[in-house]
């Protein structure tokens, strides 16, 4: 006999509802997760427990799990069960991450975020090369034909969380440390300012979408996990766009936080 669930953990099905039974079960599990009855990293009741509790088939329970997996709320581990997905570990504070004081301390934006999250940062899959600018990048940088592209993947505690490509004008970056694999303390923004391009402001465009097959592979994404696609343009004090950064982040790895002025 399957073990029974604790009283009050989950409710009962509504036989008068026109909502499919598997969706009712998914609704109750989602609600229980939202109320903290199942915490981050905790295992959900097994198929056998839910079959016994609701009096349904295993396939119905599996369909319920599929709904929650598709929402990115839980993940399945083969032979172990279904677990509540941990909340994003990295808090990305937009008004602070590019503060000049961080560059002066020799810290890049990702290092600042990793320190705040208490994690170990790494960068791999690094590629630096000159290439033809695509139409969008060219337009953002002032109709340039060729750019220096810096591609890299960021990891936190060994887990891929972000893939970014920076595009910079060749007349600024060619022959400088920006074109080297390691741009030095403070990253490329520190080097830009050393070259006389004092950073004045940034513009960011953000949208959420489902990942491409390549992004799933690069970021090791589980089924149902979307990505945050961010395009940032950096401007110097003369109003010139000096960098475009195209970034794809795992949505289950980041909290995007913004501080807005009161006036």
- Between the alpha carbon of residue 135 and those of residues 132, 142, 171, 261, the distances in Å are 9, 11, 19, 34
Other C-beta atoms closer than 10 Å to the C-beta of 116 total: 15
- Quick check: helix, strand or coil at residue 26? helix
Extended strands (E) in 121-226: 121-132, 146-156, 159-169, 199-209
Dihedral sign from CA coordinates of 47, 49, 54, 55: positive
Spatial distance between the Cα atoms of 240 and 235, rounded to a whole number of angstroms: 5
Instruction: Render pLDDT for 156-193 as a digit per residue (tens, 0 to 9).
Output: 888 899 999 999 999 999 999 999 999 998 889 999 99
Spatial distance between the Cα atoms of 115 and 107, rounded to a whole number of angstroms: 10
Using a cut of 0.75, tell me whether the model's pTM lies above it.
no
Comparing 143 with 253, the larger pLDDT belongs to 143
Spatial distance between the Cα atoms of 55 and 77, rounded to a whole number of angstroms: 24
Provide the pLDDT for residue 144: 93
Provide the pLDDT for residue 259: 63
The first and second tokens of residue 174, run together, are: 């060619």
DSSP-assigned states of every residue in 213-237: HHHHHHHTPPTT--EEEEEEEEEET
Residue the block writes with tokens 């006999």: 1
Question: Mean of the per-residue pLDDT values for the chain?
Answer: 86
Of 34-43, 133-142, 148-157, give the lowest mean pLDDT range: 34-43
Residue 29 in contact with residue 44, Cβ under 8 Å? yes
């Amino acid at each position: 006999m399957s073990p029974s669930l604790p009283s009050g953990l989950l409710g009962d099905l509504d036989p008068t509802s026109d909502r499919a039974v598997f969706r009712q079960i998914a609704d109750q599990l989602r609600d229980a997760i939202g109320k903290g009855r199942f915490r981050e990293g905790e295992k959900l009741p097994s198929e056998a427990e839910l079959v016994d509790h609701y009096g349904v088939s295993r396939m119905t329970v599996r369909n319920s799990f599929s709904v929650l997996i598709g929402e990115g709320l839980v993940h399945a581990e083969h032979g172990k069960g279904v677990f509540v997905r941990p909340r994003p570990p990295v808090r990305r504070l937009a008004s602070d991450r590019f503060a000049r004081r961080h560059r002066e301390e020799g810290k890049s934006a990702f290092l600042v975020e990793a320190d705040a999250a208490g994690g170990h940062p790494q960068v791999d899959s690094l590629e630096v090369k000159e290439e033809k600018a695509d139409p969008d990048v060219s337009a953002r940088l002032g109709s340039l034909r060729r750019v220096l592209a810096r591609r890299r993947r960021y990891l936190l505690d060994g887990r891929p969380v972000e893939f970014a490509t920076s595009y910079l004008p060749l007349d600024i970056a060619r022959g400088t440390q920006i074109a080297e694999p390691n741009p030095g303390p403070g990253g490329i923004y520190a080097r830009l300012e050393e070259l006389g391009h004092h950073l004045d402001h940034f513009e960011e465009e953000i949208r959420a979408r489902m990942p491409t097959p390549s992004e799933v592979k690069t970021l090791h994404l589980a089924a149902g996990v979307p990505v945050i696609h961010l395009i940032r343009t950096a401007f110097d004090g003369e109003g010139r766009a000096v960098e475009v950064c195209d970034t794809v982040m795992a949505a289950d790895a980041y909290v995007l936080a913004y501080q807005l002025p009161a006036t």
